[in-house]
Amino acid sequence: MEKKITYAGLSKVLFFMVLVGAIYSSIKSVTDEDFQSNKFREEYPLLLIDNEINNKLIDSVFVHMGFVFVDLPERRKYCIPHSRNYEYRPYFLGEFLMPGDTITKKNNSDTVVIKRNDKKYFFIVGKSLNEELR
């Protein structure tokens, strides 16, 4: 006796395959993000209050999951938690920074100073400033 493939049976198999594919894609996406995040954390140490940066030119900037990753001369690299100053446009530090800007942060300070075209811009590491200007 031969079994016939029905439309209902075929649609169940197709639905199951799509469901498995969606679950696999979701899991892979999350694990890829975790892998990338761990890689970034190893390569770019978190900028802490006791770190000091003395007038260093920014070589490159990129943003990943709300964190700002900066490359400085002498192979120095830092990860800066989300920082915003609503007095500036763009207000998010990751969108504000550009290669060629100068960055300064004093030891035991949470303030990052960006110098561009002889003008200074201030951000607080991990915080928002001037929220009333939102």
pTM over cut 0.75: no
Residue pLDDT, tens place only, 32-65: 455 456 677 788 899 988 999 999 999 999 998 8
Asked whether the predicted pLDDT for residue 77 surpasses 70, the reply is: yes
First to last CA, the chain: 73
For residues 78 and 52, the answer to whether their CB atoms sit within 8 Å is no
Residue boundaries of the structural domains of the chain: 1-43, 53-133
Asked whether the predicted pLDDT for residue 26 surpasses 80, the reply is: no
> Which of these ranges, 14-18, 47-51, 79-83, 130-134, has the smallest mean pLDDT?
14-18
Rounded-to-integer distance, Cα 78 and Cα 45, Å: 5
